[in-house]
Structure 1
Amino acid sequence: MSHYLIYSAYFIQGIIFVYFLAINSTYTLLILFALKDIIQHSYLSTTRSARRLLLSDSYYKPVSVIVPAYNEAEVVSNSVKSLLNLHYPEFEIIVVNDGSSDETVAVLKRDFKLRPHTKPVRLQVPHALIKGIYVSEDYPNLIVVDKENGGKADAINAGINVSSFPLFCSIDADSLLEPDAVLKASKLFIEDDELIATGGIVRVINGCKVKDGAVTDIELPESTLEAIQVLEYTRAFLSGRTGWNLLKSLLIISGAFGVFRKDMVLAVNGYRKTVGEDMDLVMRLHRHCLDNAIPYKIFFVPDPVCWTQVPYNLAMLRKQRNRWHRGLIDCLRNNRVMILNPKYGKVSLFAVSYFVFVEVVGPILELLGYISIPIFYLFGVLNTKFLLLLITVAILWGISINIAAIFLDNFNYRRYRKNGDILRLCWLSVVEFFGYREIMLLERVKATFSFRETGWGTQSRKAH
């Protein structure tokens, strides 16, 4: 047998081993960083003047809540009701109908008694034509913008132009905010003048009971597919995004819930039309501040809570993950100047490098590893003992990271109060490794080779 084949086999197995160590070590470090950050945040939330800031109307900045909506007739009414119940001294709600083909506008007119309004619009960032602006007769702070279709980023830009306040909160139309979510997020802008953007945790509403736009009972969804996504969201937000806080390198504020300083977003010309507009905006904010030596901070805060629907069937989930991965690649391509560029400091060294070499390159290496196993076995160059050890350690390590995220969440926030739900999440930490991850892996690899596609696809909703 050719020495070249043997050396190639060892080389590929070595690369896979290094990748395995790198990715799992990164996840472990992020969990440890998250633990430190959450403990620190919990301490600060119960000391200094934090409680007084939350309870006093004297400490706040008015906020514009922008809700882009496209074919959201099933859920938009409950979402608006949730926002109207926010505990906040001064805010406006701007629902932007992005050329929906369903009854989104009709539902809003019926439920909130809308009337035409001649509110002036400052054209500060580009967007498609606005056809009409409406204000609720019952709720003067509820504004509905009806515009031609231009995509989510375009809709948020229209909302920014219509908005009146120095902070804006972007929230998806299928999401619900807890009453104090905006207050908890926006108080940070009072405490720190350098803060330009923050995001809260996004939790899964599937399986929960909702009444009048508020989550009244929190339970895991019965569907295994939906429940695994609860596990993913817990791991991604508590261990992932919280962990990046310590490195001051947060690159993603979820499009489902984020609060921004409007002047800084205007400075980068608003949202850009891309599949991953939320990450793209945050990366451009980093670039703008670092290019111009502007002191700034971008933080994730773990306790303001937004509830969102996740896909309830595999076809929808695959489309979503394909779109997410295309968005990631497009953002990195558009901001490629930040890759391994010392000018951008820790953001480039840690966060951008992680997303390039772990999130983009990683799935390709992992798939090549799966493909190489039968090939090396047929040629007799597969080290089966090494392979079995690697697979066993990888699964056990991954399960440990999942369970650490579950207990980190349960210890600090105790959202799922039934022991059965906690045990089921632990069990799903194991189940995830046998089929689910492989399906998601294939979708990410597929997206890697079709990242130039710009379509979002359709996403059906269930009424809350």
Structure 2
Amino acid sequence: MIDFLMQFTFWATWVLIVYYAIYNGVFLVVLLKGALEVSREVNWPSSMTLSEIFANPLTPGISIIVPAHNEESGIVDAVLALRNLRYPLTRIVVVDDGSTDETFQRLKDNFDLRPTSKVLAAAPQHEGKITELWATRSGDLTVVRKESVRLRSDAVNAGLRAADQEIVCMIDADSLLERDALLHIVAPFVADPTVLGVGGVIRPANGVTVSRGAVTKVQMPKKWVERIQVVEYLRAFLVGRTGWASIKGLMIISGAFGAFRRDAVLEVGGLDSTSLAEDADLVVAITKKARDEKRPYRIAFVAEPVCWTEVPNTFSALSTQRRRWSQGLGELIAKQRKMILNPRYGVLGMLTLPYFVLFEFYGPIFGVLGAFIALAGAITGLITWQLFALAFFVSVGLSLVSSLASVLIEESAYHRYSRLRDVVVLLMTTIVELMGFHLVHTWWRLQGVYRALFKRPSEWGTIERAGFEQEGPGHAPDDSPDQPQLQRETTADIAP
């Protein structure tokens, strides 16, 4: 019996080592590709390119869709900030999703809205009935009032009916775009007509200072739960998704900041309101349709434009979010299982989806079982401590290398955290994340796996926001977002 346990523990530990070696090895390759792409973007004469895009009469117009539910405290600032973006033609579509506060009244009073007879497109379908349609005299702002079914995707689909430009950009009402963000994100569309979707970088706004809809100071947040998310977002967005896009395997464009060709979104029926992974679901659906019809396509990602969004500031709120993400991934995998290891779907089918199935969805199960067997084996003498140390290095050490590399790339390329203190805190947080938070996060993901495998009802949940820190009372307008109340989650999935 002892011999059997020794053999079992020995080989189980080696399976764990191989598993994490492949997992971290693949991601390190993706990270390297992402780093090269970031370097290329930084060294490219982007200012000239952006100026050309701005002046080019063929630059496509953009409809910016903003779903809003009870956003009275910040909606005016949000629209003013969008109006100040540097782009030749923008049309803002705010979807008042059944707000019970003063959201619509503030929009009406500040932007001189009037009832409009604008004809909406017939598609896509949505559940909440549209009750009113208002617009400014110039037509640059349209407000769609609808009944709420408490689904962000339903509000976005209603907004798509009012969107009349070639490109649609979907952002959350509590998100802030940098001034040139639209010029950056539209560049791939202009350069390549086969581009169907483009994602941009999402960064936690917790800890930053805002004045009149613009970020004026970037600092690390004070809470560890917020700091950990800064590291996660750097690893996932700045290098992770940039790397996946460079090998034509990008699966996720965050709903907090993504742009698509309107026709491509309508061809797949808009967002799937039954999916927890609504953003990834849209990207996979667009990719699948293009592949099935054998049409050339590309899903791109640009690392320069930044969307600042507020992330959960308590572990309770974060746990709800991460369970939802894990369950949503499982539902997406089940829905698109015929794409997995199917050569018809290219890198997405042959590498990205298998990677997410094996390492992102089932990863918590392998991690918990493997770590328990290896640690118990070392303590009881069934395996050597040297073998356990190797397993620990491959699983934790290589992950630490990835996180530290992401921080290094951020600081060398963009240097947004300019204070030495913030950089030190950022480096310390990479260690805290792996040594402590990783275990808690694994437990939350396991709960999401359980809910997906046993088909438990989907739950979107709610997260209350604390609001952006304003640059003194004299700098922010009266309607500054002191306490925005959101009834949905940010859908910025941070899987690598």
More displaced stretch, 369-378 vs 19-28? 369-378
- Residue in structure 1 matched with residue 408 of structure 2 by the alignment: 407
More displaced stretch, 301-310 vs 427-436? 427-436
Take 1:329 and 1:109, find their aligned partners in 2: how far apart are those partners? 42
User: Could you tell me which amino acid in structure 2 is paired with residue 112 of structure 1?
Assistant: F
Equivalent positions of 1:309-324 (< 5 A) are 309-324=310-325
- Residue in structure 2 matched with residue 355 of structure 1 by the alignment: 356
CA separation of 1:445/1:74 partners in 2, compared to 1, >3 Å: closer, same or farther? Answer: farther
User: Could you tell me which amino acid in structure 1 is paired with residue 77 of structure 2?
Assistant: N
Query: Residue by residue, what CA displacement relative to the aligned partner does 1:129-160 show, whole Å, maximum 9, x if unpaired?
Result: 111112246x7411111112231111111111
Deviation (angstroms), 1:44: 4.0
Take 2:370 and 2:71, find their aligned partners in 1: how far apart are those partners? 41
- Residue in structure 1 matched with residue 485 of structure 2 by the alignment: none
User: Could you tell me which amino acid in structure 1 is paired with residue 347 of structure 2?
Assistant: K
Matched, 1:327 2:332: no
More displaced stretch, 174-183 vs 8-17? 8-17
- Residue in structure 2 matched with residue 15 of structure 1 by the alignment: 15
- Residue in structure 1 matched with residue 146 of structure 2 by the alignment: 147
Take 2:441 and 2:107, find their aligned partners in 1: how far apart are those partners? 36
Take 1:171 and 1:341, find their aligned partners in 2: how far apart are those partners? 33
Contact 2:55 2:88 in 1 (8 A): no
Contact 2:13 2:391 in 1 (8 A): no
Take 2:102 and 2:439, find their aligned partners in 1: how far apart are those partners? 38
Deviation (angstroms), 1:412: 1.3
Take 2:223 and 2:322, find their aligned partners in 1: how far apart are those partners? 18
Deviation (angstroms), 1:460: 0.6
Matched, 1:261 2:253: no
More displaced stretch, 110-119 vs 434-443? 110-119
Which secondary structure does the structure 1 equivalent of 2:143 belong to? strand
Take 1:203 and 1:136, find their aligned partners in 2: how far apart are those partners? 32
Matched, 1:398 2:399: yes
Contact 1:82 1:178 in 2 (8 A): no
Which secondary structure does the structure 2 equivalent of 1:168 belong to? strand
Query: Residue by residue, what CA displacement relative to the aligned partner does 1:304-323 show, whole Å, maximum 9, x if unpaired?
Result: 11110000111011111111
- Residue in structure 1 matched with residue 89 of structure 2 by the alignment: 90
Deviation (angstroms), 1:71: 3.5
Take 1:103 and 1:285, find their aligned partners in 2: how far apart are those partners? 37
- Residue in structure 2 matched with residue 213 of structure 1 by the alignment: 213
Deviation (angstroms), 1:391: 1.8
Alignment length (residue pairs):
462
Matched, 1:6 2:6: yes
Which secondary structure does the structure 2 equivalent of 1:449 belong to? helix
Take 1:378 and 1:56, find their aligned partners in 2: how far apart are those partners? 68
- Residue in structure 2 matched with residue 238 of structure 1 by the alignment: 238
CA separation of 1:70/1:333 partners in 2, compared to 1, >3 Å: closer, same or farther? Answer: farther
Contact 1:59 1:187 in 2 (8 A): no
Unaligned runs of 5+ in 1: none
Which secondary structure does the structure 1 equivalent of 2:332 belong to? helix
User: Could you tell me which amino acid in structure 2 is paired with residue 323 of structure 1?
Assistant: R
Q: Identity rate of aligned residues, in percent?
A: 35
Equivalent positions of 1:126-165 (< 5 A) are 126-128=125-127, 129-136=129-136, 140-150=139-149, 151-165=151-165
Deviation (angstroms), 1:162: 0.8
TM-score by length of 1: 0.94
User: Could you tell me which amino acid in structure 1 is paired with residue 294 of structure 2?
Assistant: A
Take 1:449 and 1:101, find their aligned partners in 2: how far apart are those partners? 35
Contact 2:41 2:304 in 1 (8 A): no
Take 2:357 and 2:31, find their aligned partners in 1: how far apart are those partners? 20
More displaced stretch, 450-459 vs 203-212? 450-459
Query: Residue by residue, what CA displacement relative to the aligned partner does 1:14-61 show, whole Å, maximum 9, x if unpaired?
Result: 2211111011112211111112212233344449x6244244253411
Deviation (angstroms), 1:214: 0.9
Deviation (angstroms), 1:240: 0.7
TM-score by length of 2: 0.88
User: Could you tell me which amino acid in structure 2 is paired with residue 461 of structure 1?
Assistant: R
Take 1:75 and 1:322, find their aligned partners in 2: how far apart are those partners? 28
Query: Residue by residue, what CA displacement relative to the aligned partner does 1:305-363 show, whole Å, maximum 9, x if unpaired?
Result: 11100001110111111111112111111111111111112221111111111101111
Q: Report the aligned-residue RMSD.
A: 2.0
- Residue in structure 2 matched with residue 460 of structure 1 by the alignment: 464
Take 2:90 and 2:467, find their aligned partners in 1: how far apart are those partners? 26
Contact 2:53 2:183 in 1 (8 A): yes
Contact 1:416 1:422 in 2 (8 A): yes
Deviation (angstroms), 1:384: 2.9
Equivalent positions of 1:351-390 (< 5 A) are 351-373=352-374, 375-376=376-377, 380-390=381-391
Deviation (angstroms), 1:110: 4.4
Take 2:108 and 2:222, find their aligned partners in 1: how far apart are those partners? 35
Take 2:90 and 2:50, find their aligned partners in 1: how far apart are those partners? 21
- Residue in structure 2 matched with residue 99 of structure 1 by the alignment: 98
User: Could you tell me which amino acid in structure 2 is paired with residue 261 of structure 1?
Assistant: R
Take 1:322 and 1:75, find their aligned partners in 2: how far apart are those partners? 28
Which secondary structure does the structure 2 equivalent of 1:233 belong to? helix
Equivalent positions of 1:9-48 (< 5 A) are 9-46=9-46
User: Could you tell me which amino acid in structure 1 is paired with residue 277 of structure 2?
Assistant: G
Which secondary structure does the structure 1 equivalent of 2:362 belong to? helix
Which secondary structure does the structure 2 equivalent of 1:450 belong to? helix
Take 2:385 and 2:62, find their aligned partners in 1: how far apart are those partners? 59
Take 1:70 and 1:15, find their aligned partners in 2: how far apart are those partners? 48
Take 1:120 and 1:379, find their aligned partners in 2: how far apart are those partners? 73
Contact 1:66 1:159 in 2 (8 A): yes
CA separation of 1:223/1:367 partners in 2, compared to 1, >3 Å: closer, same or farther? Answer: same
Deviation (angstroms), 1:103: 4.1
Take 1:293 and 1:249, find their aligned partners in 2: how far apart are those partners? 17
